[in-house]
Amino acid sequence: MNLTHLDERHRPKMVDVSQKTATIREARASGIITMSPAAYEAIVQEQVKKGPVLQTAIIAAIQGAKKTPDLIPMCHPLLLSGVQCDIEEQPRSHSFKLLVTVRLSGNTGVEMEALTGVSVGLLTIYDMVKAIDKAMVIGPVQLEEKSGGKSGDFRRTDP
């Protein structure tokens, strides 16, 4: 098995993408945070002492996508064209679903940036509401779809 992040002497390396063709690449990831009814209502009613939770989570998700190479050692620093975030309220399950779409024109994909954005956004919600509910659960965090690049398109097809 040929692992791309190891050199011939099995030392870690960052993959050289300089010979790859630059294309439009986009990735969308999602994640869910589930919480108590009290925590959910405090967020929806904007009664959390630390401020507007969902707006802050969106800003954090954008920041997380932009800072991915600072957190994930083998990720390339990328010039992102755009980061779009959406949060869906899910009142029946007392949860929020965060979707992050990242786009660029370049020679490597943006899946990790989308996944990192989701993770940081959800962790921000946890941080802002933990005084109300420390038992919140984050997950699953997953890639929903990606396009562009040599490996082609991917779209999750959950039953």
- Of 31, 15, 6, 120, nearest to 71 (Cα)? 120
Q: For this structure, is 158 an active site residue?
A: no
Going by the DSSP 8-state scheme, the letter that residue 119 receives in this structure is: H
Going by the DSSP 8-state scheme, the letter that residue 149 receives in this structure is: S
- Of 142, 61, 154, nearest to 109 (Cα)? 154
Task: Describe the chain by its helix, strand, coil percentages, rounded to 5.
Answer: 30, 30, 40
Among 7, 127, 133, 153, the one annotated catalytic: 127
Q: Which residues have a Cβ under 8 Å from the Cβ of 5 and sit 6 or more positions away?
A: 12, 13, 14, 15, 74
Question: Residue with structure tokens 């996508």?
Answer: 65
- Give catalytic residues, as residue numbers: 127
